[in-house]
Homo-oligomer: A and B are copies of this chain.
Amino acid sequence: MLTKDHLDRIEVVLISPRNPLNIGAAARAMANFGFTHLTVVAPFEAHWREAQSAIGAEELLKNAKRTESLEEAIAECTLVIGTGTLVYRKAEQPAVIVPELGGRVTSELGRGGRVALVFGSEKHGLTREDLSYCHLLAVIPTDPRQPSMNLGQAVAVFLYELAGRNEIQPQLPVENAVEASPLPVASGELDRLAMMIEEAMLAAGYSPKGMQAANRHDVRLLLRRLKLNAADTRRAFGLFRRMLHKLKR
């Protein structure tokens, strides 16, 4: 689990992004998962910062660093993680799949380190030169027929895995109110409903005499299996009573 202090020691580094929309998307994902440090290395677009206004990530973009080289961007970092696929290259450093990355990152942060997550340019990903600065290559398991991810989406998946997934057991009533807290329904009430349904079945000519016992048994089981709450039961009772009333006229 990443603390605020941990998140503060993770840098997201984008190398020469071509499309300003991708910078915005990366920033947006960072804001979604609580990251704050973005560095853009030698962006193609001169006015990349001004061009951007990713929703909810304005502050983050305003504070983003810009460097001319990767070397400079990661100078303070103790664990540099390159990202990409192994389909087009042979790694010259240890490779790890993203689901196994969390442990490496938290242990590095735990011993006071600073971690960089480095994403290559849209077109080619990280170069061999870029990768030579990386301690580790991290790979998202993708379909070999279409292994290469969109930059903004790859960033989102990495940050989800590192923070979203491991972190916030959110403000979620995991099973929600409707299922978790229905008012219990007494067995007798279910039986009254069952009887009303049976009468309606008979009145509608749905249940032949010979099937009456079997149907009664089935309805009784069904009503219990459905986990009706008190409101459901009341409503169903009202509806069937109403229909029965009409049917009998």
User: CB within 8 Å of B: which residues of A?
Assistant: 21, 25, 28-29, 31-34, 55-57, 86-87, 90-100, 137, 139-150, 152-157, 160-161, 164-165, 167-179, 197, 200-201, 203-206, 218, 222, 225-228, 232, 235, 238-239, 242-243, 245-247
Contact = CB atoms under 8 A, between A and B. Distances in A.
B226 A146 contact: no
Contacts of A87: 171
Given A32-B143, A33-B142, 13 more contacts: A29-B149, A32-B149, A56-B148, A90-B176, A91-B178, A93-B178, A94-B178, A95-B172, A95-B174, A141-B167, A197-B239, A203-B246, A204-B242
Given A225-B179, A243-B243, A243-B247, A172 B94 contact: no
B168 A141 contact: yes
Contacts of A157: 156-157, 160, 164
Contacts of A90: 176-177
Number of copies of this chain that the complex holds: 2
A200 B32 contact: no
A239 B91 contact: no
A86 B243 CA distance: 38
B222 A232 contact: yes
